[in-house]
Amino acid sequence: MIDSSSQTIDNNSAHDDKTLSGQTTVALREAIIKGEIAPGEKLNEPKLAEQFQVSRGPLREAIRRLVAMRLVRHVPHVGATVVTLELNSILELYDVREALEGKAAALAAENMSEEDIAKLRALLELHRQHSQENPGEYMQTEGDFDFHYQIIKGSGNRLLTDQLCDELYHLIRMFRFQTSRFKSRSNRALIEHEQLIYAIEQRDPQLAEMLMRKHIARAKASIRDALNDSETGSLDQP
Amino acid sequence: MIDSSSQTIDNNSAHDDKTLSGQTTVALREAIIKGEIAPGEKLNEPKLAEQFQVSRGPLREAIRRLVAMRLVRHVPHVGATVVTLELNSILELYDVREALEGKAAALAAENMSEEDIAKLRALLELHRQHSQENPGEYMQTEGDFDFHYQIIKGSGNRLLTDQLCDELYHLIRMFRFQTSRFKSRSNRALIEHEQLIYAIEQRDPQLAEMLMRKHIARAKASIRDALNDSETGSLDQP
DNA sequence: CCTCTCTTTATTGTCAACAATATTATCGTT
DNA sequence: AACGATAATATTGTTGACAATAAAGAGAGG
């Protein structure tokens, strides 16, 4: 077992929030991420309150939290709508990821404990094994972020971790859900993860940062190519 | 042109929010940043609602937005408290700034229009002039972020801009308010800004990023030194 | 037939009362 | 006197009703 909070990636500051607002937040969040509420769709407060069996108060609070997570946009006196992830937003997201996770990798190379590094390598071997047995499986995407998640946490920077794991993570999840038909090149990711962990083991912050940045930049490029080819401008509409 | 709201740094998604929640948000936010509500202090909802002449509803919403801005921490059924900026949090903040603003500088070198670059240089000259006439003046701090702000906007990345200017910016302001007794080395900043704008003019993303990162890293180091000296080690424990 | 205005409707913003939980104070026991 | 359990208090969470604003529709005029 890697960590007490490793399989529950969701820490979201609401992991132990038994309050109605908290529960409604995760329910609404998941509904949006899974596409049960379509991108661009308007969030009708009375309707959703009825649907989630809560009053409008907690529902409004949930909406505000999702606004902070950038899953929802809000205009005063008009209402809230689910964000639409056009290609441009995705590319912007990956630029931010590159900057933040690159720094996280550098800090991880400096601050991560030897045990945590060992656990990280164990996790990588697990993914490699799984990938060999069932090639092209779902785990690579979840597992991929598992790996990144451990490095981010290994940075020891709380602000960085919160920004990446509480806010941006759910945006990434939403995007992956919408484009799950595209299977990612998991072999390449595995190789790059291997290089990355080696840099961390060598305690080389600059190399770790460079490798992480290139890793994410390549993912970004591959997304741009895939989406440019496949849709030719006609994928992102609902 | 990217946006028309350039001199009003506060865009905060509430710039034209005439709603009570919006007004309460900025009022409460400024009160916290200026220290009228002390760091670590608890936010008593009935008391603050009375103070701001609003009901608890809008006040609660304001608090939630400030939680998203990381100016306030919230625990279910216990309440909200103003964050305490220990040295550690500040250093973490500057690491995140280094990553994000570094990338912003690189993107600005790629995407900024020639006119915007010209305006940026004009702004720098203005600050230099002001700095010569009244050495060691307040403007350098506000002006410093003005400069950074223009570069961030010049990146053309909306997510990046929002993260830096809507959320982190207010944390920085709060920190500066609390430590206004320390005068920053404005001469050095001016020189480094000069180098930075030159790299942008040359359309050299890598150099621009490097310069911005070093610029912020130096600011971080100078903060660490100043705070370590002045408070003699009794600062970072809670 | 289209367009503009006014009315109607629906939706968001705000409020004050109620319920649930945590904090504090009190009291008894060791 | 110190500690722990229990009751009183204060604060947060939730609810439904009310007010203000925007969207939708009807009707008159061009």
A104-140 per-position pLDDT tens digit? 999 999 999 999 999 999 999 988 888 777 765 555 6
A106 and A181 co-located in one domain: yes
CA distance B171 to B131: 25
**Which residues of chain A are within 8 Å of residue B18 when distances are taken between CB atoms?**
76
Shortest CA to C1' contact from B18: nucleotide = C13
DSSP H helix total and E strand total for chain A: 10, 3
Distance A77 CA to D24 C1' (A): 16
Decide if B106 is inside a domain.
yes
Q: CB–CB of A96 and B68 under 8 A?
A: no
CB-based contact (8 Å) between B159 and chain A?
A: yes
A92/A181 same-domain check: yes
* Four-point Cα dihedral A169, A68, B40, B175, nearest 10: 90
Q: How far apart are CA A189 and CA A142, in angstroms?
A: 13
Instruction: Give the orientation angle of helix A139-154 with respect to helix A186-201, to 10 degrees.
Output: 20
CATH number of the domain bearing residue B25: 1.10.10.10
Q: Which of B22, B98, B163 sits opposite A76 (nearest CB)?
A: B22
Give residue A116's domain range.
87-231
Query: Which residues, other chains included, contact A81 with Cβ-Cβ below 8 Å and sequence gap of 6+?
Result: A40, A41, A42, A43, A72, A73
Q: In chain B, what residues touch A13 (CB-CB under 8 Å)?
A: 74
Sign, Cα dihedral of B64, B23, B97, B216: negative
Asked if strand C contacts A159 at the CB level, meaning under 7 A, the answer is: no
The verdict on residue B139 lying in a domain is yes
Question: Closest Cα of chain B to A216: distance in Å?
Answer: 14
Per-residue pLDDT band at B177 (split at 50, 70, 90) = confident
Q: What is the residue whose two structure tokens read 């230099």?
A: B128
Enclosing H/E stretch for B149? helix B139-154
Residue B126's pLDDT is what? 87
The distance (Å) linking the CA of B77 with the C1' of C19 is 13
User: Which domain-ending residue is among B82, B98, B119?
Assistant: B82
Q: Over pLDDT 90: what percentage of chain B?
A: 69
Same domain (yes/no): A72, A94: no
Q: Tell me, yes or no, whether B154 and B179 share the same domain.
A: yes
Please indicate, yes or no, if residue B3 is contained in any of the structural domains. Answer: no
A99 shares its domain with A211: yes
Closest nucleotide to A76: CA versus each C1': C12
- Judgement on whether residues A128 and A166 belong to the same structural domain of the protein: yes
| Shortest Cα distance, chain B CAs vs residue A133, angstroms | 38
Q: Which residues of B touch A102 (CB under 8 A)?
A: 99
Q: What is the C-alpha separation between B222 and B200, in angstroms, rounded?
A: 25
Predicted confidence band at A158 (pLDDT cuts at 50, 70, 90)? very high
Q: How many domains does chain B have?
A: 2
Q: In whole angstroms, what is the distance from residue B223 CA to residue B167 CA?
A: 21
Q: Domain with B196 in it: what CATH number?
A: 1.20.120.530
In a domain, B12, yes or no: no
User: Is position B2 within any domain?
Assistant: no
Residue A212, pLDDT above cutoff 90: yes
Q: State the nearest Cα–Cα gap between A74 and chain B, in angstroms.
A: 9
Same domain, B48 and B124: no
| Protein residue minimizing CA–C1' distance to D15 | A55
Torsional sign, CA B92, B96, B98, B101:
negative
Contact A111, A155 (CB under 8 A): yes
How far B128 CA lies from chain A's nearest CA (Å)? 30
**A137 shares a domain with A199:** yes
Residue B75 in this model has a pLDDT that exceeds 70: yes
Give the confidence band of A236 by pLDDT, cuts at 50, 70, 90: very low
Q: Is the pLDDT of residue A145 over 50?
A: yes
| Length B16 CA → C19 C1' (Å) | 36
The tokens for B220 are: 């971080």
Last residue of some domain: A55, A82, A109? A82
Q: In this structure, is residue A10 part of a structural domain?
A: no
Residues 6+ apart with CB under 8 A from A68: A167, B64, B65, B67, B68
- B114 burial (CB, 10 Å; 0-12 / 13-18 / 19+) is exposed
In the numeric block, the tokens 């424990």 are attached to: B237
Same domain, B48 and B108: no
Is residue A203 in a domain?
yes
* Residue A19 to residue B76, Cβ atoms within 8 A: yes
- pLDDT tens per residue, range A48-91: 999 999 999 999 999 999 999 999 999 999 999 999 999 999 99
Whether residue B203 is contained in a domain is answered as yes
Q: Based on the fold, state whether residues B100 and B209 are members of the same structural domain.
A: yes
Q: Across the interface, which of A60, A68, A99 has its CB nearest the CB of B103?
A: A99
The domain boundary, picked from A48, A82, A116, lies at A82
* B38 and B147 part of one domain: no
Q: Is the CB of A60 under 7 A from strand C?
A: yes
Query: pLDDT, tens digit, for every residue of B198-219?
Result: 999 999 999 999 999 999 999 9
| Helix (H) or strand (E) run with residue B46 in it | helix B45-52
Are the C-beta atoms of B48 and B147 separated by less than 8 Å?
A: no
Cβ-based contacts of B99 with chain A (< 8 Å): 99-100, 102-103, 160
**Spatial contact of B197 and B124, defined as CB atoms under 8 Å apart:** yes
* Range 90-149 of B in CB contact (< 8 A) with A: 92-93, 95-96, 98-100, 102-103, 107
Q: Do B108 and B62 sit in the same domain of this protein?
A: no
Q: Which residues touch strand D (CB under 7 A)?
A: A 19-21, 54-58, 61, 77-78; B 42-46, 56-57, 60, 74, 76-80
